[in-house]
Amino acid sequence: MESKTPILLEVKNLKKYFPIRTGFFRRTTGQVSAVDGVSFFIREGETLGLVGESGCGKTTTGRCILRAHPPTAGEVWFRKDGEMVNILELSTKEMKPLRREMQIIFQDPFSSLNPRMTVMDIVSEPLRIHGLAQGAELKAQVRELLEAVGLKAQHMNRYPYAFSGGQRQRIGIARALALRPRLIICDEPVSALDVSVQAQTLNLLEDLQKEFGLTYLFIAHDLSVVEHISDRVAVMYLGNIVELAKAEELYINPLHPYSEALLSAIPRTDPDHVSKRLVLPGDVPSPANPPPGCKFHPRCRYAQPICQTEKPEWRLLHDDHWVACHRAEELSLVGIDYD
């Protein structure tokens, strides 16, 4: 992807803290920093992979961008008619036309479709909410959408329980496409699917991207899934992005020890490959009480005294490769060697 294409979405220092309330009066006794200062941008037509363990704040980031949760701080800029708008400052009414531009695909294909509605009702819902089509016109549009995602249009009167997980996910994709958005946040869209269905769904998403000129923020919890769909990949750990680079660059030449550990966990198909899997000691620390300094230092095998006290800066190391690690220059980490 050429760097000349304009930026569609820019997130600046996004923070989301959830209060911990206890006792009868619900006093706030602490907070969970789910997202703790995240910044990135996505160019038009690009796919940005957002990777991290469960609980690292990837989903919260995605939902804050769509204003499902009001963020604690930060800015979300979206390009609308050639101008960047901070969507967090818009009123609900001003936000409504912008909702047509950004949609979401969910992880769980069972919870994401209302079991009491037919496929027709589900897929047409966004069109009805925005009053874009009615009657025969509405039906024709749903037909188009279903066929675009590879489902039979004559099944539109069926209920979600008649479909398999992969088919349900396609229904969810058709719903997300209904308003012809420019940005789609894919929140682990394949994590709940079989491996064979995963590949089909990823291919469908790639085809749709070409067809409709979509931009994806693709959230996943393992690097192997985002490997071939992403142009650039961001690695998240405990509420922060620790590394962001072009996909091949990050896979071959990771700069953050956490990325290195994630890459070593990708299963290989080569039978002669000797696994040098790096197992991280311990668990992810609680986001309610994150460690000081670099949040990764308790589990990092390269940690130095400075890592325990000082927070590493988010910096551009070389050509489009961002990292937050004190020792990024001196370490030579192992990526994946594509022979």
Partner 1 sequence: MSDTTSKSEELFRLYEELSDASADLEPEDLAEQKSLDAIFAASQWQLMWRKFKRNKVAIAGGIVVLLFYLGALLAGFIAPYTLESRFVKYIHMPPQRVRFFNNGKLQPHVCGVDLTIDENLRKHYTPDCTERFPLQFFAHGEPYKLLGLIDTDVHLFQVPDGIVSLLGTDRQGRDMFSRILYGSQISLTIGLLGVLMSLLFGSVLGVISGYYGGWIDDLMQRLIELVRSFPAIPLWMALSAAVPPHWPPLRTYFAVTLILSLIGWTWLARQLRGKVLSLRHEDFVLAAKMTGATDAWIIFRHLIPATFSHIIVVSTLAMPSMILSETALSFLGLGLRPPITSWGVLLKEVQNIQSIALYPWVFTPALAIAILILAFNFLGDGLRDAADPYTV
Contact positions vs partner 1 (CB under 8 A): 63, 66, 68, 95-96, 99-100, 103-104, 106-108, 111-116, 118, 122, 125-126, 129-130, 140, 143-144, 147-148, 152-155, 157-159, 161-162, 172, 175, 179-180, 211-213
**Measured from the CB atom, is 104 or 244 closer to partner 1?**
104
Instruction: Read off the tokens for 78.
Output: 């979206």
**Measured from the CB atom, is 203 or 308 closer to partner 1?**
203
Instruction: Read off the tokens for 60.
Output: 């919260």
Shortest reach from residue 167's CB to partner 1, in Å? 11
Shortest reach from residue 212's CB to partner 1, in Å? 6
The DSSP string of 181-239 is: -SEEEEESTTTTS-HHHHHHHHHHHHHHHHHHT-EEEEEESSHHHHTTT-SEEEEEETT
**Measured from the CB atom, is 96 or 315 closer to partner 1?**
96
**Measured from the CB atom, is 168 or 297 closer to partner 1?**
168
Q: Identify whether the C-beta of residue 69 lies closer than 8 Å to the C-beta of residue 88.
A: no
Q: Using CA atoms, how far apart are residues 235 and 238, in angstroms rounded to an integer?
A: 10
Shortest reach from residue 315's CB to partner 1, in Å? 34
Q: Using CA atoms, how far apart are residues 75 and 245, in angstroms rounded to an integer?
A: 22
Shortest reach from residue 112's CB to partner 1, in Å? 4
**Measured from the CB atom, is 18 or 159 closer to partner 1?**
159
Ordered strands of the 102-105 beta sheet: 102-105, 183-187, 215-220, 47-51, 232-237, 240-246, 321-323, 315-318
The DSSP string of 72-103 is: SEEEEEEEETTEEEEGGGS-HHHHHHHHTTEE
Residue 44: partners with Cβ closer than 8 Å, 6 or more residues away: 5, 6, 7, 8, 79, 182, 213, 215
Shortest reach from residue 67's CB to partner 1, in Å? 8
Q: Using CA atoms, how far apart are residues 149 and 143, in angstroms rounded to an integer?
A: 10
**Measured from the CB atom, is 31 or 253 closer to partner 1?**
31
Q: Using CA atoms, how far apart are residues 301 and 279, in angstroms rounded to an integer?
A: 10
**Measured from the CB atom, is 124 or 264 closer to partner 1?**
124
Q: Using CA atoms, how far apart are residues 24 and 316, in angstroms rounded to an integer?
A: 48
Shortest reach from residue 8's CB to partner 1, in Å? 13
Q: Identify whether the C-beta of residue 116 lies closer than 8 Å to the C-beta of residue 137.
A: no
Shortest reach from residue 214's CB to partner 1, in Å? 10
Task: For residue 331, give the DSSP letter.
Answer: -
Shortest reach from residue 179's CB to partner 1, in Å? 7
Q: Identify whether the C-beta of residue 243 lies closer than 8 Å to the C-beta of residue 254.
A: yes
**Measured from the CB atom, is 173 or 263 closer to partner 1?**
173
Q: Using CA atoms, how far apart are residues 64 and 70, in angstroms rounded to an integer?
A: 6
**Measured from the CB atom, is 84 or 278 closer to partner 1?**
84
Shortest reach from residue 139's CB to partner 1, in Å? 12
